Structure 1
Amino acid sequence: MSTTLSSPPLPPRALVLCLCLLVGGGALWYVLSGPAPATHEATRAVVIRPQTRAFDIARTLKEAHVIRSRFAFLAVAVARGTQRRLLAGEYEFAPGLTLLEVVRRLEQGKGLVHQVTIPEGFAARQIAEMLQARGLIDQERFMGLVRDRRLLAQYRVDGTSLEGYLFPDTYRLVKGLSEEAMIGRMVQRFTEIFGPAERARASALKMSVAEVVTIASLIEREAMVDEERPLISSVFHNRLRLGMPLQSDPTVLYSLSRFSGKLTKANLQAPSPYNTYLHRGLPPGPIASPGRASIIAALYPASSRYLYFVSKNDGTHAFSNTLREHDAMVRRYQIRRVG
């Protein structure tokens, strides 16, 4: 006769525990692998600010209907040990992403990147306006930091602002990056361009970095073709050596808030330290962000005796040694054209 062995029945408590584990595990699998709620029918854009806590990130994602459960999001982040390493940025979440995919995207910082080109010759105010229009910064805070003494000391800038040191280039920026961090990137790019060789050349000219950048900013605002930058630089250097006023229109424009149109005689008499018609020597500081070509031109002016230049209205200039020659060029290219 054979006997059949059978397992003893589970105690009631053990049975309940097994059922709870099965249900809980199934629920966790559904939360991890299932898509977001049905209300999430379109791609959602979410901005995570720097130093945002995981709890607040979870709340933001829940309110945007990207995730079902804040608790589940936190549980996954804690289990993966990344709750303190979720990266700031602007993210787009398509419908149907699993919770695990959402967490991984934040871990890897796979947010939207904005490619922004700062044009040569832009003043700090224009840069701030551009970045605010793209939704990347607060313009008022940005401009406050441009004049922040702590940052000036940090970057060893001799002056009252970082005007001229926000290097014009193409940057890959993300929403959520602080204004201070963006400024840092631009100033760091400037230090890469204005390196040891450029500093040594400035010393050979017996000029400070600030003086070179100031001349370069004038060149940037005056020149329209690269070939003329060294010639325009020579005019400024020659005038400085002779103690002549620079008489540069862009310096007057810089002191006039949001000016548009042609300068008048009254404008040229405007009482501003930046008015190089009234004051000899360089203005108090740069008036714009010069590019590398203008910086090199400021450091290596052409060898010339030119003291004057006037626009020929085609992007180029007529250069003169004497006031008489200059007056003739003005009559030829400006007065006659107006008449």
Structure 2
Amino acid sequence: MGRFFRLIILAGVALLFLALIAAALLYFISDGRPVYFVQREVTRLMIAGRQDDLNRSVGTDNSPIRFSVNPGDTPPTVAQNLYQASLIADPDLYVDYAFVNGLDVEMEAGVYFPDQTMTIPAIARMLTDSRSSSIPFRILEGWRLEEIADAIDRSGLFGFTGADFLVAAGPGAGVDPVFAEQVGLPQGASVEGFLFPDTYQLPPQITADGLRDQLLATFLEKTGPQIRSDAAAQGLSLFEVVILASITERESVQPDENPRIAGVYRNRLDIGMKLDADPTVQYGIGYQGDTWWPQITQADYTAAVSDYNTYLITGLPPGPIANPGLSAIQGVVYPAQSDYLYFRAACDGSGYHNFARTFDEHVANGC
């Protein structure tokens, strides 16, 4: 008997809800409201009890996902695409919410970057302003060109591939001649070393050439004319500065040590001593195992033959081995003054180095 009465109560509540909807329909229609207005208010009543679903995201991954709204896409099409991209759990609820709040007619074609932590209301609002969308992209100090290309592919946010970027920034790239002259870039050289490490907010429609040009422009902006002038006063082209800064960047762990490490390399260059820099050996070896910077042994100093191996060549390698940050560049132009010719990692795991004037002192600094 108790179950029977519960069913009666539930049926009564359902009938009451339907009666309220019918009353709302009659009221709005008799009031001369447009049909779409009536539909919207009815839909509003229908989703009123689904606030938890509206405010629940599908996941915890905040990695942006490239999502396109094409010209002519309808709200149901967009909702289905969002569902297939694992950005929402209920396409119908998305359509209803957008309709009720007028966001369906405000939706703009464009490229957006939502993520799985966003709710249906947040995504629906995002898709009304394509101008606010941008690609977040970070380049770390010491990355080589191929690592930037790998990051492009991993992000999944760009309209081009890492391979496209390698073409745009690699040997023979169509670099602005004014830029090439400013930095002393040899004809036909890649722009390795000048792809400035930073965190960028990039336009969704950016091309591989556009990204390259943005990174080069940031390099000029961050380094500034003073560094170029001070380097020239020391007889150094910016290209030479960046070569040495790229080696310094790969050797250093603590940025405040860059001037001391760069100072050692400049001291070696001044007396015609080989740079003997491990990162130049790694650069020549290239990708091995699962890294562009493989572990090397002393045997590699002579076995890894390349134009970049500074255990085999005297002076600077033919080009940068990575893309250094501003601290490493400043370290080369404004090195610490010392008579040190050697350094090796300190034994305390701090990331700092012990410096030495002679090879015997250098050996004594071993762990």
Same fold (TM over 0.5): yes
The match for 2:35 among 12, 26, 47 is 26
What residue number does 2:236 align with? 207
Could you tell me how far 1:274 is from its partner in structure 2?
A: 0.6
Deviation sequence 1:146-186 (CA, Å, 0-9, x none): 21644423672414222111222222357664444433333
What residue number does 2:343 align with? 309
The match for 2:169 among 139, 146, 151 is 146
With over 3 angstroms needed to count, the CA separation of the structure-2 counterparts of 1:252 and 1:90, relative to structure 1, is: same
Could you tell me how far 1:122 is from its partner in structure 2?
A: 1.8
Residues 70, 110 of structure 2: 8 Å contact kept: no
Structure 2 residue 350 is the aligned partner of structure 1 residue 327: no
The match for 1:54 among 50, 55, 71 is 71
CA RMSD of aligned residues (A): 4.1
Where structure 1 has 5 or more consecutive residues not aligned to the other structure, the ranges are 1-21
What residue number does 1:289 align with? 323
> In 1, Cα distance between the equivalents of 2:210 and 2:253?
31
Could you tell me how far 1:327 is from its partner in structure 2?
A: 3.3
The match for 2:220 among 169, 182, 191 is 191
With over 3 angstroms needed to count, the CA separation of the structure-2 counterparts of 1:43 and 1:179, relative to structure 1, is: farther
SS of residue in 1 equivalent to 2:247: helix
> In 2, Cα distance between the equivalents of 1:46 and 1:256?
34
- Count of residues in Structure 1 that have an aligned counterpart in Structure 2: 295
* Equivalent residue letter for 2:221: E
Could you tell me how far 1:310 is from its partner in structure 2?
A: 2.5
Where structure 2 has 5 or more consecutive residues not aligned to the other structure, the ranges are 1-31, 48-52, 59-63, 82-90, 97-101, 289-293
Deviation sequence 1:222-258 (CA, Å, 0-9, x none): 1223343222222222222222221111111111123
Residues 165, 187 of structure 1: 8 Å contact kept: yes
The match for 2:150 among 90, 110, 129 is 129
TM-score of the aligned structures, taking structure 2 as reference length: 0.65
What residue number does 1:254 align with? 283
> In 2, Cα distance between the equivalents of 1:253 and 1:209?
23
Residues 284, 309 of structure 2: 8 Å contact kept: yes
Could you tell me how far 1:266 is from its partner in structure 2?
A: 3.5
Moved more, 292-301 or 224-233: 224-233
The match for 2:112 among 80, 89, 94 is 89
With over 3 angstroms needed to count, the CA separation of the structure-2 counterparts of 1:112 and 1:227, relative to structure 1, is: closer
> In 2, Cα distance between the equivalents of 1:34 and 1:267?
73
Q: What is the percentage of aligned positions where both structures have the same residue?
A: 29
* Equivalent residue letter for 2:353: H
TM-score of the aligned structures, taking structure 1 as reference length: 0.69
Residues 134, 201 of structure 2: 8 Å contact kept: no
What residue number does 2:29 align with? none
Could you tell me how far 1:28 is from its partner in structure 2?
A: 8.8
> In 1, Cα distance between the equivalents of 2:261 and 2:176?
32
> In 1, Cα distance between the equivalents of 2:360 and 2:346?
13
What residue number does 2:261 align with? 232
> In 1, Cα distance between the equivalents of 2:318 and 2:77?
47
> In 1, Cα distance between the equivalents of 2:230 and 2:156?
40
> In 2, Cα distance between the equivalents of 1:103 and 1:283?
52
Could you tell me how far 1:290 is from its partner in structure 2?
A: 1.2
With over 3 angstroms needed to count, the CA separation of the structure-2 counterparts of 1:306 and 1:141, relative to structure 1, is: same
Could you tell me how far 1:34 is from its partner in structure 2?
A: 6.7
Could you tell me how far 1:217 is from its partner in structure 2?
A: 0.9
